[in-house]
Amino acid sequence: MQVGIAHAVGGLLFILLIAGGAFSVGSKWSHEESHTASAASTQEEEGAVASSTEEDSSETAAQRELYDVVKVIDGDTITIKLGEKNETIRLIGLDTPETNDPRTGVQCFGKEATAKLKSVIGKRVAIEKDAGEGERDKYDRLLAYVYSEEGLLVNKYLIEQGYAYEYTYDDPYKYQKEFKAAQVDAKAKQRGLWAPNACPEPKKAAPATKASVQTAAAAVVVPEVKPEPENKVEEKKPEPEPEKPKEEPKQKEPEPEPEDEEEQPSGSYTCSSNKYNCTHFKTQAEAQEVFDQCGGADNDVHKLDNNKDGEACESLP
């Protein structure tokens, strides 16, 4: 009888152990399935967000208004047809070598930068302004990022291809971080103007030394002076010619009166007609004063600002 009871208790314990193991395994499977389902849901949400971002970016690019390109002035300045008038656009965040500035002349890689801009900009562009940079610069040019019709950000492209320098004028701008990184990459890969010997520095004349001065002095040939012979035959002096009758002095013709000198600009300036040009001024500051007092670019009657950049007689010191 005792043996039977022992067998019964052992059987009951065995059944309880089997049931407990099954419950533990089932809980583990349930937890893993829940975790897998949660991860899949997170991935779907991230994919949906990324897809939404791409769609928003695509819609933004498609919604940009396109404007006709009138002229490419140089590597960082263009003119577009904006409404009923032409507007000059200065590209934000970059600077290219000059091609039209009389103060510097054509700088190295200036022509290449202008040609590159012409090749990528196309016939129509979109523009994006930056509130942090203001609407216009001191020359009244619109400040903007320029996109080609295909959506290429031209400002950044010129920097990363080595045709322009990253340029922060005063305050940080929207794409400053990306533009600076583009310049680091172009410089590291020696693209464009960063290539070896792309813009070699002009050779400087070696300073004069004592040895070089002595060498130059030794090279000067002094002609030899031969002594005259002692037994020199005395030359006969020519007989004096008879004096000619003195002619009466002719009356001097009256000298022409000097013409009035050209009017020099003074404290008060004539702004109603073309009175002066750049040769009337000794400095650029004097010419700029006349230019500004006569109304600047809106009334440049004296033609002191030929390139229309707001600065008069830039060739003067």
Q: Residue 8, Cβ neighbours under 10 Å: how many? A: 9
Residue with tokens 């009389």: 102
The single residue of 87, 112, 133, 141 carrying the catalytic annotation is 141
Among the listed residues 155, 126, 135, 156, the one whose alpha carbon sits nearest the alpha carbon of residue 61: 126
Q: Residue 122, Cβ neighbours under 10 Å: how many? A: 14
The single residue of 98, 178, 289, 311 carrying the catalytic annotation is 98
Residue 243 DSSP one-character state: P
- Rounded to whole angstroms, the Cα distance separating 17 from 8 reads 15
CB distance 160 to 182 below 8 Å = yes
- Rounded to whole angstroms, the Cα distance separating 219 from 212 reads 11
Q: Residue 300, Cβ neighbours under 10 Å: how many? A: 17
- Rounded to whole angstroms, the Cα distance separating 221 from 227 reads 19
Residue 90 annotated as catalytic: yes
Residue 141 annotated as catalytic: yes
The single residue of 90, 112, 160, 314 carrying the catalytic annotation is 90
* Strands annotated E in the chain: 67-74, 77-82, 85-91, 94-95, 124-128, 142-148, 165-166
Residue 98 annotated as catalytic: yes
Residue 141 DSSP one-character state: P
CB distance 165 to 152 below 8 Å = no
Residues identified as active-site: 90, 98, 141
